Amino acid sequence: METILTINNLNKKFGNIHAVNNLSFEIKKGNVYGILGPNGSGKSTTLGIILNVVNKTSGNFSWFDGNLSTHNALKKVGAIIERPNFYPYMTAVQNLELVCKIKGITFDKIEEKLKLVNLFQRKDSKFSTYSLGMKQRLAIASALLNDPEILILDEPTNGLDPQGIHEIREIIKTIAHNGTTILLASHLLDEVEKVCTHVVVIREGVKLYSGSVDEMIASYGLFELKVDGETSKLVELLSNFEGIGTVKIEDDKIIATLSKAINAKEINNYLFKNGVILSHLVKRKPSLEQQFLTLTNNKL
């Protein structure tokens, strides 16, 4: 699979803040990547570095096959890393025409991109009359005018209402479906779970996980157990079982997270032999949220 971006041991220090700490990952063509991390974890700084608006402290990154200068490579990248900035007294079309002039491209794609982001009906309305969601969608149309290989978005749904969030996510999925690679930064777990195929989880600039969203959700899993009567014996037995990570009491259930693959039969036999008869035993895959909380040590 074609590589779009390679990042190797990237570091950025602002004084004594290590905003990006030895970060490495790769972006392959056709996937949707999410950089997921709490506020201040280094997402925007990472995007700024690869887009040449923030200077790295050390490490390197290379676009495409590495043969283009960053300046030329960035002509094949569409990015929205700040609030959309258009002229309020100009219409959507006029604003996009101006963007085309600045980028030195023809007006050919304006209509197609306005349709893609569901703004064609409002193409002649002044930007100042647009809702926040519409402004964000116009920014996406603008970033796509030169049919970039990759679209980069920083917190694309920040500040939007649920309807606006839904519209943006659907548009991102359509753009990905049409073959454009996407890299987005988000602190929202469900956003990454819903939109992305791959995820890089970072905290305080350090990569904690990178891989497919499916694999992340599928790894390990957890047991949900119930017993009639005394739970303390069950908790103790579970805590002593190799492969059980944490044991928590949640409402009337006990949640045991796994640190290796264990099947339900194994755990049931073990408990039965030790005199505990379960009234409920379910194995669940943890949600990305549980995974994320485990990875970031519950520090959100």
Ligand X SMILES: Nc1ncnc2c1ncn2[C@@H]1O[C@H](COP(=O)(O)OP(=O)(O)OP(=O)(O)O)[C@@H](O)[C@H]1O
Report whether 179 contacts 33 (CB < 8 A).
Answer: no
Give yes or no for residue 286 binding ligand X (CB under 6 A).
Answer: no
Binding window for ligand X (CB under 6 A); candidates: 40-48, 93-101, 106-114, 172-180: 40-48
- For residue 44, state whether it binds ligand X (rule: CB under 6 A): yes
In angstroms, give the least distance from the CB of 293 to ligand X.
Answer: 17
Q: Does 17 bind ligand X (CB under 6 A)?
A: yes
Q: How far is CA 115 from CA 215, 226, 291, in A?
A: 35, 53, 37
Query: Nearer to ligand X by C-beta: 44 or 257?
Result: 44
Among 10, 34, 41, 295, binds ligand X (CB under 6 A): 41
The interface mask with ligand X, positions 179-208, x = CB under 6 A, is --------x---------------------
The C-alpha atoms of residue 138 and residue 140 are separated, in whole angstroms, by 5
Using the minimum distance from each CB to ligand X, give the nearer residue, 40 or 59: 40
Which residue lies nearer to ligand X by CB, 93 or 195?
195
Closest distance to ligand X from the beta carbon of 20 (Å): 7
CB within 8 Å of 127: residues ≥ 6 apart: 86, 87, 88, 89, 90, 91, 92, 95, 135, 138
Query: For residue 108, what is the DSSP state?
Result: T
Q: Is 43 in the site for ligand X (CB under 6 A)?
A: yes
Phi, then psi, of 270 in degrees rounded to 5 = -60, -45
Whose Cβ is closer to ligand X: residue 32's or residue 36's?
A: 36
Q: Do the Cβ atoms of 264 and 281 come closer than 8 Å?
A: yes
The residue (of 199 and 244) whose beta carbon lies closer to ligand X is 199
Q: Determine contact, residues 288/221, Cβ cutoff 8 Å.
A: no
Binding flag, residue 69, ligand X (CB under 6 A): no
Piece of 38-46, 69-77, 95-103, 258-266 that binds ligand X (CB under 6 A): 38-46
Half-sphere exposure of 29 (CA within 13 A, CB side): 12
Whether the CA torsion 186, 183, 20, 13 is positive or negative: it is negative
Q: How far is the CB of 202 from ligand X (least distance, A)?
A: 7
Burial class of residue 173 (count of CB atoms within 10 Å of its CB; 0-12, 13-18, 19+): middle
Contacts with ligand X, residue ranges (CB under 6 A) = 14, 17, 19, 37, 39-45, 187
